[in-house]
Amino acid sequence: MILKNTKGVCFINITIVDSRCGAGKSSYAIQMMRKNTSKKYIYITPFLDEIQRIKNECSNRYFYEPNEKLGKGSKLRHFNELLSDGDNIASTHSLFQNINKDTIEALIKNKYTLILDETMNILEEMKVSKSDLNYLMELNVITVDDKTKKITWHDENYDDKFGAFSELKNNCTFGDMYLITDKVCYWIFPIEIFKYFEEIYIMTYMHKGQIQTYYLDMHNIKYEIKSVRKCGSTGVGTRETMKYELINYCDPDRSKYKELINIYDGKLNDVERKITDFSKTYYLNAKAGKVEQKESIELLKRNLYNYFKCIINGKSDDNMWSVFKDFKSLIKGKGYTKGFVECNIRATNKYKNKKNLAYCCNFYLNPMQKRLFKYNNIEINEDYYALDKLLQWIFRSQLRDNKPINIYLPSSRMRRLLTQWIDYDM
């Protein structure tokens, strides 16, 4: 069984390695795994191609990738078998988010170091009808904490496989459930999982704008914050390998970005009418046919075409643009549609040839998530949250290789945040 969280500080050995994209976080992790042959590692990444990189570059350790066939139809079953055998594992965020009681038993058996390449999704929304919740509360099957809104399940004998509320029971048992409105609940990845690792490294950038950091703070978890830097090399020529080390957290030098990032400042920015334009709500209103936003969307489409075709006038292969995925069809257009890159993408080098950018998002934290953290006395800085999304996206481009980019940001708020970051005002 999972040990439920106790009051006070949880002593979990977590190091957040916060360095800008391309600084060498993954390279440091590879160096560490190759060197420390007495330790067992689980490397969790958002992308399948990164798994292959780990397997190739840590060939002296031999990393296994969970396989559905070897797990008799279940990757998770094979993952748990590899854990039980004490093998090194490279896998994805999506698989790790679904770990179960068998995973815990295997982790107890073997001491592992966990490396999280970028933060993972630790919140999942669930909708339960108001009548069902009232029914369960009247029977004292569940209670809801007045302050934190945490749901506690009391009926241990309830059928957790075939019962009508088995999913709710399992989510309360394996993880934490919170009631946000009378029908919206959030499941939170069980913090207890992290107690079963010998040490944990989270490789990211702008940690103070990320949900996973708020999640750690919400559970009163203490963590170290470090940065990574190059510290020499070994070998020569094609055999040269860079060496990396962890240092006390430091704000990276941003002075060069004043020259490398060309933020468009012209008439195309007049498309904005309110500071909250280009948020999800803005696009939802446009999709619903509200006249003001609909007219603004048509102008935005024309602006994107003019920006890429007339102002930049570069090759279409150099173009990269984004909007919230569900609204891509609203603003896609001739000459730039193929350059779409999801607005919340992280940890990939796939687009490092792109140099002409347009980012049509204005990020705000989901109000339900914001309410969850507020109930638990965690203050959210929405500017850092938005800036994190923007920086992760633009560093997918050739900027990660210190090459110049052009960018169109129709949101004045997002322009301000990027400018403040360049000028050390954030």
> Is beta strand 241-248 parallel, antiparallel or unpaired with respect to 224-234?
antiparallel
Q: What integer pLDDT is reported at residue 404 of this predicted model?
A: 96
* Percentage, residues of the chain above pLDDT 70: 96
pLDDT band at 8 (very low <50, low <70, confident <90, very high): very low
Query: Does pLDDT of 381 surpass 60?
Result: yes
* Percentage, residues of the chain above pLDDT 90: 61
pLDDT band at 2 (very low <50, low <70, confident <90, very high): very low
SS3 262: strand
Instruction: State the sign of the Cα–Cα–Cα–Cα dihedral 380, 383, 384, 390.
Output: positive
Mean per-residue pLDDT, 204-220? 92
Query: Does pLDDT of 3 surpass 60?
Result: no
Mean per-residue pLDDT, 29-38? 94
Name residues whose C-beta falls within 8 Å of residue 296's C-beta, 6 or more positions apart in sequence: 271, 273, 277, 282, 286
Domains and CATH numbers, the chain: 14-120+194-248 (3.40.50.10810), 123-188 (no CATH), 257-422 (no CATH)
pLDDT band at 161 (very low <50, low <70, confident <90, very high): confident
Can you read off the two tokens belonging to residue 364?
Answer: 């705000």
Q: What integer pLDDT is reported at residue 408 of this predicted model?
A: 98
Spatial distance between the Cα atoms of 12 and 117, rounded to a whole number of angstroms: 18
Instruction: State the sign of the Cα–Cα–Cα–Cα dihedral 253, 259, 261, 266.
Output: positive
Can you read off the two tokens belonging to residue 202?
Answer: 């989270």
Q: For the chain, what is the mean pLDDT?
A: 89
Q: Note the pLDDT tens digit of each residue in 46-70.
A: 888 889 999 999 989 899 999 999 9
Mean per-residue pLDDT, 153-171? 85
Matching residue, tokens 């006070």: 8
